[in-house]
Copies of this chain bind each other. A is one copy, B any other.
Amino acid sequence: MNVTRLGIPVAAVMLAACQATPAADPLPSWNDGASKSAIVDFVNRVTDESNPDYRPADDRVAVFDNDGTLWAERPFYFQLAYALDRVRAMATEHPEWRNQDALRAVMEDDQAAMAGFGLPQLMEIVAATHAGMTMAEFQTAARDWLDSARHPRFDRLYRELTYQPMKELLAYLRANDFQTWIVSGGGVEFLRTIAEEAYGIPPQQVVGSSTQAEYRSDPSAPVIVKLPELGSVDDKGVKPVNINLHIGRRPILAFGNSDGDFEMLEYTTTGDGARLGLILHHDDAEREWAYDRDSHIGRLVRGLDEAEARGWILVSMARDFRTVFSAQ
């Protein structure tokens, strides 16, 4: 036998590394079924060099919406909950806000007025609460809120309402040399305060809405200040535009949950070669919420109507998610 004290462990380690042992299930929080099979099958095909659908690692770009896809979005977007809390916290320093309808409605907790808020009102609130501070100040305020604010229904931190199956999917894709990106309508700086810790997604792979910003030069302590003017509203057709601007490659996998993600899914799944589009359908009133066509937030109409014809997978939260939220 040519096996020695040195030889045995080295050879054994090498053998163990090379042998095809059955891997542990990388998606334990997904129930077995068509959705999980479609995901695993897609990943197997694009990573197998002998498969005609193989894609080199550089091409393995996966994009994810955030609100309603990676974490919950009800009763309203968590960033709006943050902004409303900021209005209340800052109100005494800003008596002039009583002259602005949207801000006054929040200060007076006028639920009827708030229920009718559209984009102009949201912009007024974002301009008041997000602008005029440095990026660092904004992120500190957002982080403080995320570390303490609790969701009204679940009495957990908002940040704990991330979806465990989605976190497993992100990790599974990265283990297969995918780049995982967030492409969200939420504010980019807000998202970055949690993206790395919650999802393992570094700041440079977070694309979101943004305000204009301004650099203020200083020889020892320059700052970047958020301005009230909008930069990019990263929703609908702007998502593919921002994917092009930030990533510069067409993704091969896209995962969303509302019609705001429709164009991102269309852009992703109409390129050459193997592609996968997925929509998370919120159909689980018991563990989360059930909403689609008639919802003010996360409205899903075209996605439901066209998913089948376009070959997109409708992921059912009720059927496909073994567990929903990450934290206990």
Contacts and interface: CB of A to CB of B under 8 A. Distances in A.
A224 B248 contact: no
A221 interface: yes
Interface in A194-221: 202-206, 210, 213-215, 217-221
A95 interface: no
B266 A217 contact: yes
B266 A237 contact: no
Contact of A237 (B206, B215, B241, B248): B215
Nearest to A188: B245
Interface stretch (A3-11, A45-53, A114-122): A3-11
A246 B204 contact: yes
A219 B266 contact: yes
The quantity of this chain's copies bound in the complex is: 2
A240 B231 CA distance: 15
Interface in A151-182: 179
A213 B267 CA distance: 14
Contact of A7 (B10, B220, B246): B10
Nearest to A239: B215
B222 A266 contact: yes
Contacts of A247: 203-204
B3 A4 contact: yes
Nearest to A266: B222
Contacts of A248: 188-189, 192, 202-204, 206
Interface in A219-253: 219-222, 224, 231, 237-241, 244-249
A105 to B, nearest CB: 31
A204 B249 contact: yes
Nearest to A4: B2
A147 B43 CA distance: 36
Given A188-B248, A204-B247, A248-B188, A222 B263 contact: yes
B263 A240 contact: no
7 contacts: A7-B7, A202-B248, A203-B249, A217-B263, A217-B266, A218-B270, A221-B270
Interface in A10-30: 10-11, 14
A-B complex: 9 closest residue pairs judged by Cβ atoms? A203-B248, A215-B237, A7-B7, A2-B4, A215-B240, A213-B241, A6-B7, A204-B247, A10-B10
Contacts of A219: 266, 270, 310
A277 to B, nearest CB: 12
A6 B94 CA distance: 77
A215 B3 CA distance: 64
A58 interface: yes
Contact of A224 (B217, B224, B241): B241
A206 B249 CA distance: 12
A215 B202 contact: no
